[in-house]
Amino acid sequence: MKGASQKKHPRKKVIYLVGDSTGETVSKLSRASLAQFNREQIEIKTFFMVKERQHLAQIIKQAAEDGALIAFTVVQPNMRDFLIREAERQGTKAIDVIGDFILQLSLFLGEKPAEIPGRQYVIDEYYYRRIEAINFAVKHDDGKGPQGLKLADLVLIGLSRTSKTPLSTYLANQGWKVANVPLHPEMNPPEELFREVEHHKVFGLTINVESLVKLRESRLKQLGLEPYAKYADPVKVCDEIEWCKSFYEKHPRWRVLDISNRAIEESAASILRAYQTGKKPY
């Protein structure tokens, strides 16, 4: 109706993530923090590998125009101090995400920080261990190379689409050598799984019917296949899950983790906790 007031959509809040390296740290921290809030009215703008004051000044000026909050990880003192001063001059709030932590560590350890951007990405022993673990996960994905199972730190087993590969990849990026083996009622797992792998290294993954059906339907769509194939049929899926549970019960020294509605990070943390403490996954 003419003259009727139209509902205005609230303006999005803008957050600038600024870093003088890859920005991985501030990105992870922002994701973890923003998970506690409604993301629909939040816009994230990222500015990484910022090395020059001129570039930094342009970012701060733009942030002021957007009425944005700046969260940053800038370790070089001159750049960090410039950012803080310039943001204050522009009337923009800026949060030093790791600066206070580094300061407190310096006081506690009695050591001056190196103040080198991207220092966590140096090519050291841990870096090479991660690369080796990633290569191992690729070579031993989906049951490949069963003769190498005995060399794995962890062996993940489970039905198709129970996140074996994503979990293996995530753990490999933390330096763990992970192999994964698919299970199916009509397929025999490799003998090496029973003869050569220590029981405490084996983690059986399970999932509820609804979640597995959705995952399999999604996979079929990706492949351009009918979503109603036997692979995603709820009755067939239920039968597979029941078979899988029975299979795990025959090997009580293996530990079982239900990944239903869990993020990869949460499942991985549960596996590592169980592996390191000898307790059951939570």
pLDDT in tens, 114-170: 666 655 555 567 778 889 999 999 999 999 999 999 999 999 999 999 999 999 999
CA contacts within 13 A on the Cβ side of 150: 6
How far apart (Å, rounded) are the C-alpha atoms in residues 69 and 74?
15
CB 53 within 8 A of CB 79: yes
Residue spans of the chain under pLDDT 70: 1-10, 114-124
Look up residue 222 and give its amino acid: Q
In sequence order, which residues have a C-beta less than 8 Å from that of residue 271 and are 6 or more positions away? 154, 156, 167, 171, 203, 257, 281
How far apart (Å, rounded) are the C-alpha atoms in residues 175 and 72?
27
Question: In what helix (H) or strand (E) does residue 278 lie, and over which residues does it extend?
Answer: none
β-pairing, 94-96 with 42-47? unpaired
| pTM higher than 0.75 | no
β-pairing, 13-19 with 178-182? unpaired
Structural domains of the chain, ranges and CATH numbers in brackets: 13-121 (3.40.50.2300), 125-277 (3.40.50)
Work out the angle at residue 221's Cα, subtended by the Cα atoms of residues 137 and 218, and round it to the nearest 5 degrees: 60
